[in-house]
Amino acid sequence: TDGGSGGGGGGGGDELITVGFAQTGSESGWRSANTESLKTALSEENGFKLVFNAADNKQEAQIAAVRSFINQGVDAIVIAPITVDGWDDVLKEAKDAGIPVILEDRTVSASDDLYASWVGLDFEKEGELAGQWAVENADGSNLVVLEGTTGSSAALDRATGWSKALEGSTIKTLDSQTGDFTRDGGKKVMEGFLQKYGSDINLLFAHNDDMGLGALDAIEAAGLVPGQDIKIVTIDAVHDGMQALADGKFSFIVECNPLLGEKVADLVKKVLAGESVDKRTIVEDQTFTQDQAKEALPTRPY
Ligand code: GYE
């Protein structure tokens, strides 16, 4: 595996680099893979001492975790920001304390001189790729949307990209609500949509696989056939989502790569060594049809 190869330096009995990592929570399969990736890359073998916090998707809890990292005097802080807004004060506090901050996954609205670097994905492009598939394969459909966590860059930018792709199409949006990126949320909101619109719905866009997987339960319980009565487009391409795609229940998935650990570890080391780093690093994603999912599944690492 690529797990233990960590980017040189550190370890060997030298002082470990203490990193506080403020994770969003554990809402999805994507998040589990992302946490795993960072824990592996920020391990002692690679020269790090990791202080891990998961905030259960509560912004105040996440900000409190970052404050506690500052008080503990960690060497660097890594944040996967739950929402875009609300970061200015605590990022200033970190800066005043001389502790560099690396953002991973989602972005913030705060000025970019308040953090050293960001590594993540192009969420707008993900939404746009999903929307392009829908326009090409399901134009004229009645659409419902399961949005990710309100105020998160992942949800905001995916919605923007999707809308862009749908401009000029005849897809009609019946409803759009947040399912908070969870299976449970996806299931509950889809149940509500089905009660309201019944079999009028023939297209679902879920901002992540987990909400789409939750919606599958609701759709099947309503006696409808996912993939036939309702086409489902999602984002992430985690294992269970890819399985649903291979099984013909999902119709299309846009990948979102959660394996950002090595890149984060590398950025932390470079920033602490005073080397200059890019402000933004975008990791490339791909897309999967049902046939491509069947082919890719056996060798997917997560
Ligand atoms: O798509 C979702 C997770 O921010 C890219 O957060 C991430 C999203 C991912 O909960 O499954």
Q: Could you tell me which residues come within 8 angstroms of residue 275 by beta carbon, excluding any fewer than 6 positions away?
A: none
Tens place of pLDDT for every residue, the chain, 302 residues? 343 444 444 444 569 999 999 999 999 999 999 999 999 999 999 999 999 999 999 999 999 999 999 999 999 999 999 999 999 999 999 999 999 999 999 999 999 999 999 999 999 999 999 999 999 999 999 999 999 999 999 999 999 999 999 999 999 999 999 999 999 999 999 999 999 999 999 999 999 999 999 999 999 999 999 999 999 999 999 999 999 999 999 999 999 999 999 999 999 999 999 999 999 999 999 999 999 999 999 999 99
Note whether ipTM > 0.90 here: yes
Q: How far is the CA of 156 from the centre of ligand 1 (A)?
A: 12
Encoded tokens for 280: 């933004």
* Percent of residues in the chain assigned helix, strand, coil, to nearest 5: 45, 20, 35
Strands 76-79 and 101-105: parallel
**Ligand 1 pocket: which of 23, 27, 119, 259 to mutate (most atoms within 8 A of CB):** 27
Is the minimum distance from the CB of 69 to ligand 1 under 6 angstroms?
no
Is the minimum distance from the CB of 180 to ligand 1 under 6 angstroms?
no
Is the minimum distance from the CB of 285 to ligand 1 under 6 angstroms?
no
Is the minimum distance from the CB of 155 to ligand 1 under 6 angstroms?
no
Query: Ligand 1, closest atom to CA 182?
Result: 10
In DSSP notation, 106-137 reads: S--SS-GGGSSEEEEE-HHHHHHHHHHHHHHH
Exposure string (b/e) for 201-228, b if CB count within 10 Å is 16 or more? bbbbbbbbbbbbbbbbbbbeebebebbe
CB 79 within 8 A of CB 19: no
Is the minimum distance from the CB of 256 to ligand 1 under 6 angstroms?
yes
Return the residue matching tokens 């999912």.
293
Of 184, 186, 161, give the one whose Cα is nearest residue 287. 161
Query: Ligand 1, closest atom to CA 30?
Result: 11
Q: Counting Cβ atoms within 10 Å, is residue 42 exposed (0-12), middle (13-18) or buried (19+)? A: buried
Q: How far is the CA of 131 from the centre of ligand 1 (A)?
A: 18
Calculate the CA dihedral of residues 286, 288, 293, 299 and round it to 10 degrees. Answer: 0
Q: How far is the CA of 11 from the centre of ligand 1 (A)?
A: 31
pTM: 0.94
Is the minimum distance from the CB of 75 to ligand 1 under 6 angstroms?
no
Count Cα atoms within 13 angstroms, Cβ side, for 292. Answer: 12
CB atoms within 10 A of CB 276: 9
Query: Ligand 1, closest atom to CA 181?
Result: 10
